[in-house]
Amino acid sequence: MTREHEPPVAMIDRVASLLQVFDGHDRLTLAQISRRAGLPRSSAHRILQRLVELGWVERRGFEYGLGIRMFELGSQVVRRDGVHQAALPYMHALHRSTGLTVHLSALVSADVLHLERVGGWPEKGEGWRLGARQPAAHSAAGLALLAQLDEADWPGPFDHEPLRAEVERVRERDGVAIDLEGCSAGVTAVAAPVGPCEGGLSAALSLCGPAGSMPVDRAVAAVRRAAADIWYAASGVTRLHGRQIRRGHVAAPAALAHG
């Protein structure tokens, strides 16, 4: 059987293996894609040509990257979630009031995936960009989400003994996790879960800033309040100091003192 007439499932597997090589890589050459995907160069080139025509992949010179159509489809999946839609105005308000970078993240196996980001710092560090992943056991967002689960339900291949102690500390802080340069040198992050971990997309809200100058206690209070407000907004009611306010009215959290 020629590859032009191979079964549909086999072809889907080949396309999937090709697209997956871009995980963590913005641009790759044909040789790199062929090697990473385990595909013959001619097959990789033929598949890439068709994906470029469809807009799923784009080509710049001798390098390929994921195309705008992939972004559009991925955005539709994420934005269908009520928590994500409710979070955006609160994330912008939190960023304006604190000057810190805000992430909305979800637990995906042993990692957290950053679904949304507001703020430009840190400019470097692949793990903090939109769409990037970080190890759940070492990130504030990941620990905040794992602390909501029973140990038997932890989704990844974790080393349970040290993780158990970290999760217990998060629970003692009422679910707020603190990462003091555990994921990245020079970066401190705090995170709180957005509502209970029950069905649908469970998410965590986090703030990150420069280690040594970020006011951690105030950041904890701000992220805890914003996460609660997002959950109430996603549920149809926004909570503000024990009162209910109409949907669409967003109050910025108290500003953090810098320095």
* Cα 251 to Cα 256: distance, rounded to the nearest angstrom: 15
> Which of the listed ranges 19-23, 66-70, 236-240 does the model predict with the highest average pLDDT?
19-23
3-state DSSP assignment of residue 151 = helix
What letter does residue 255 receive in the DSSP assignment? Answer: P
What's the token pair of residue 93? 């308000």
Other beta carbons within 10 angstroms of residue 99's beta carbon come to 14
pLDDT at 81: 64
Kindly report, residue by residue over 211-224, the tens digit of the pLDDT. Answer: 989 999 999 999 99
pLDDT digits (tens, 9 = 90+) for 134-159: 999 999 999 999 999 999 989 878 88
> What pLDDT, on a 0 to 100 scale, did the predictor assign at position 248?
43
Q: pLDDT tens digits for 27-62?
A: 899 999 999 999 999 999 999 999 999 989 999 999
Q: What are the tokens at 238?
A: 């926004």
Q: In the predicted model, what is the mean pLDDT of the chain?
A: 84
pTM above 0.75, yes or no: no
Cα diameter, the chain: 68
Residues whose CB falls within 8 Å of the CB of residue 230, separated by 6 or more in sequence, listed in order: 83, 86, 87, 90, 194, 195, 205
pLDDT, position 50:
93
Q: Report residue 241's pLDDT band, with 50, 70 and 90 as the boundaries.
A: very low
